[in-house]
Structure 1
Amino acid sequence: MERWPLSLTQESYSRRLRGLDERPVNVTLALRLGDPSRESVERRLSRISEQAPLLRASLSPADAAPLTIHDRPRIRLLETTGVDPADLAEHLQHDTRHVFAEDELLWKPRLIRLTDGSAVLSLAFHHIVFDGVSRGLFLRALGTESPAPAAHGGTPYVEFARWQRANFTEDGPDVRFWRAHLAGLAHNQHVNLGFARNLDQPLDSASRHESVRLTGVELWQILRWGRRRGVSLFTQVLAALAAALGEATGEPENVVRATFHGRPPGHEGTIGCFGQDVTLRLPTKPVGLAESLTSTTRAWNELGDHRFTPYGLVRRAVGGSTLPFRPVVVTLNSFSTPSAVPAFGQEATVVEVPESLPEEGLHIQLSQAPNTLTLECSYHPVRFAAADVRAFLDRVTAILREPHR
């Protein structure tokens, strides 16, 4: 048994396990299987936890080293039988709301057996041990009979935590950079979207979603256009978002948050190194994609290695919005998730888990699967009308298509 510190990125989440904030902060994953035995599922999950120490972690009362890493996996697979497929979403949402107690492993696997003869493996991970990058690593490990440490264990998470604490401090050069870079702007700066509404009302119900998909030749043309310019698909979408924000706000610059992996070299395969938001001063002019790409790339590159600064330090250094609510905070997140993966000797399909928590602002998630790009926007119906969100997403994708028409 070992005791590990939390990374600076994740330390704020420990409040959720100390009675200071009881809201769940879980990353959920669900896979539809055939009819696996409970023993085979437990065996594979235990093997993965052997290679990923953070999946053997529970939270302890200690402040300096609050993570207890257990020597042996203690994977206990819960099993629920006789579930009507129509009730599956309710069961999955129940798992997303699970609040982990002290001395409980920070992930909860459950096998849900449906009345149609199939089963769904529901996995709820506390955000301390799991993020979007970890999702892909975990899915790859599920499909491997004998996961190798180099492929699925990565550099131990504790080294990531020590690296952060050694390189970033409250008064260090990176924090001073962010104070100067944002120059009085808030880390959650209000974006004046013309179609936002009811800005003085709190959010008290679940978020909703709108999405658009690009496939086939259309997506191939977008990818080829970006490769010729040496930019990623994420950067192209960010540039299209910048141009769309220029049209929607009429402002030459807006503050948005973009998710960054935050992993130094050597930690690409480590489950649990939590990605973070990067606060970006983004030029937002109503221009074509090529011109927007130039200014967006320049703004992103100017941040350099300061992008690795833990978001919590930036938040404390520059302060937050003084508005009573955060009505429109635009974020762009990105990760790749396959629609199907090999697992337990069969092909398992990924099941979408409906979000049950209210979202503040406009959150756009870019996910890339083979031959498919999906832009999904989560929003709160108090703030936005579905038709307006859909129109905004359609405009972002129209800008992406623009060079090929």
Structure 2
Amino acid sequence: MAGQPAADGVLAALPEAKRELARLLLAARQPVPGHPVPRSGAGPVPPTALQTRLWRREHAHPAAATGSHALRLTGRLDERRLTGALTAVLRRHDSLRTRLVAAASEPPRLHVDDEPVLRLTRTDLTGLPAPAAAERVAREVTGSAATVLDLESGHTSAFRLLRTAPGEHVLILASHLAVFDGWSSGVFLADLATAYREDAAEPAPPAPRFTDYADWQHRWLAGPEGAAERARRRAVFAADPPAPRCPDGFDRGHLPVRLARGPVAAGIELGAAAGATPFMTLLAALAVVLARRTGRTSAVIGAPAAGRFAAPLEGAVGQFTTVVPIRIDLAGGPGFPELLRRTRTAVAEALGHQRLPVDVLFGDGTPPPYEVLFALHNYPAVPLDLPGVEVGQVPGPPARHLELYSPDPAATLACVGLVERDGEIGGTAEYNRHAITPEGVRGLLTGIEEVLEQAVAAPGRAL
């Protein structure tokens, strides 16, 4: 930008107490770009809309915003180098060094600590018999998922390194969902492997950083472009009633799920011939199930999305996840090919609005117009490539996503998260025990199978 170096020089000459205020005033005079860019200057920034919600919820529900996963490391692990690599990754990503500070009578702000704090506990289990060591590992993995993390103090990550046998370790990471999303795990592991191999102490930060994104989101939403996009999207769902809120509130349940291979594979093949991805095909079938359930001629489904709508964001650790509501029109009783065409259009339209947080789109305290969230996950698989060490996943408790994906979990029936492996599609359904039974959740998935079976048998028949 022309004149930017001169402006930076003026800012640097100001007293520190006035520097950030001047930077904000200058930024307010400039058009907000359509995508995040590195900020000029430093200082605290407003949290994202999702971070604000998670921060408020964690006060009443500690550990509700904790995510965890574990890795088995087999081989000659250099613990000193691993410790240095973990610290280097914390230093590289400002999201892992943030604190949300809420001063009296002022809105909360994200502050970035200059130096990382590595919270790593080491436990030697080599003196235990193998069954006892395995039981202890399982308890540690479960305990990590229940770790109480705190966004205000900056205690947003915690690591455990268990030595179970000579040449055998388990590394467990607990992370606050306000600063770490599913995509971040791949970025984190790739950076960890690089820092371990190179013994790097000062890795270059990504550009833009997460705080650049948070600052940009606040300014973009407050500007004319954000306001216009919010108005356009609200108009799309103006005729859709908000999801009913369960009067008994929210009580989490988890259910392993798997789709029948035969009808689903045939349905996905039919969808592919019509130019639809597996996600679009399954989503179209689910829309039919939900429309039948409600008696309406449309269905709105919440679809979790990575939220990394600009390529530079793909290299940053942070919480970028968003939920895009997808409205699928079933008016006129379309056959499956026509429904797929409508679904393709609806998905493309919805994904083009990942900049708009669902908390802002439906931000007046009214629940969103969807009761079911549906995802077919495709996070990039990035192995932790450590020299001389074989890496494997350690199973853990199911992830808790409804607080992350839904502004009001009590207004949500279920969040169905699936993955496709070796031709099988399965995963976990997280649901509200007060609003739906396990049989009801299974009925949603059985309904998908039945719709696909009917579509394959008679594609043109009205659904």
Match of 2:397 in 1: 354
Contact 1:259 1:332 in 2 (8 A): yes
Q: Does 1:239 align with 2:268?
A: no
For the residues of structure 2 that align with 1:223 and 1:137, how far apart are their CA atoms?
30
Shift of the 397–132 alpha-carbon distance from structure 1 to 2, 3 Å rule, reads farther
Q: Give the letter for the 2:448 counterpart.
A: V
State how 1:163-202 maps to structure 2 within 5 Å. Answer: 163-169=216-222, 172-183=227-238, 185-186=240-241, 189-190=243-244, 201-202=248-249
Match of 2:94 among 45, 48, 53: 53
For the residues of structure 2 that align with 1:90 and 1:363, how far apart are their CA atoms?
26
For the residues of structure 2 that align with 1:182 and 1:318, how far apart are their CA atoms?
16
What are structure 1's unaligned runs of at least 5 residues? 192-198
Shift of the 77–264 alpha-carbon distance from structure 1 to 2, 3 Å rule, reads same
Shift of the 186–130 alpha-carbon distance from structure 1 to 2, 3 Å rule, reads farther
Match of 1:329 among 371, 393, 396: 371
Match of 1:161 in 2: 214
TM-score by length of 2: 0.70
Contact 1:15 1:21 in 2 (8 A): no
Q: CA deviation at 1:365?
A: 0.7
Match of 2:438 in 1: 386
Q: CA deviation at 1:249?
A: 4.1
Identity value in percent: 23
Shift of the 200–162 alpha-carbon distance from structure 1 to 2, 3 Å rule, reads closer
Q: CA deviation at 1:235?
A: 2.2
Query: Could you say what secondary structure the match of 2:299 adopts?
Result: strand
For the residues of structure 1 that align with 2:238 and 2:260, how far apart are their CA atoms?
38
Match of 2:184 in 1: 134
Match of 2:367 in 1: 320
Match of 1:367 among 412, 415, 419: 419
When the two chains are superposed, the root-mean-square deviation of aligned CA atoms in Å is 4.0
For the residues of structure 1 that align with 2:264 and 2:287, how far apart are their CA atoms?
20
Q: Does 1:251 align with 2:300?
A: no
Q: Does 1:278 align with 2:324?
A: yes
For the residues of structure 2 that align with 1:139 and 1:74, how far apart are their CA atoms?
18
Comparing 260-269 with 278-287, greater Cα deviation is found at 278-287
**Whose helix proportion is higher, 1 or 2?**
2
Q: CA deviation at 1:281?
A: 2.5
Q: CA deviation at 1:115?
A: 7.0
For the residues of structure 2 that align with 1:404 and 1:349, how far apart are their CA atoms?
39
Match of 2:171 in 1: 121
Query: Could you say what secondary structure the match of 2:161 adopts?
Result: strand
Query: Could you say what secondary structure the match of 2:359 adopts?
Result: helix
Shift of the 7–227 alpha-carbon distance from structure 1 to 2, 3 Å rule, reads same
Shift of the 110–261 alpha-carbon distance from structure 1 to 2, 3 Å rule, reads same
For the pair shown, the structure with the greater C-alpha radius of gyration is: 2
Contact 1:242 1:292 in 2 (8 A): no
Match of 2:54 among 1, 4, 13: 13
Q: Give the letter for the 1:42 counterpart.
A: T
State how 1:93-112 maps to structure 2 within 5 Å. Answer: 93-101=142-150, 102-112=152-162
Match of 1:344 in 2: 386
